[in-house]
Amino acid sequence: MQCFFVNVKCELGRAYEVAAAIADAQLASEIHSTSGDWDLLAKFYVDDDVDIGHFVNQKIHGIPGIRDTYTVLTFRAF
One CATH from 3.10.180.10, 1.10.1380.10, 3.30.70.920, 3.40.1180.10 for 2-73:
3.30.70.920
pLDDT of residue 12: 97
Tell me the mean pLDDT in the region 1-27.
97
First CA to last CA distance, the chain: 16
Domain extent listing, the chain: 2-73
Q: How far is CA 39 from the centre of its chain?
A: 11
DSSP state of 47: -
41 vs 48: CA distance, rounded Å: 22
For the segment 17-65, what is each residue's pLDDT rounded down to a tens digit?
A: 999 999 999 999 999 999 999 999 999 999 999 999 999 999 999 999 9
pTM of the entire predicted model: 0.93
Let me know: does 7 contact 19? Beta carbons within 8 Å.
no
Q: What is the pLDDT of residue 77?
A: 86
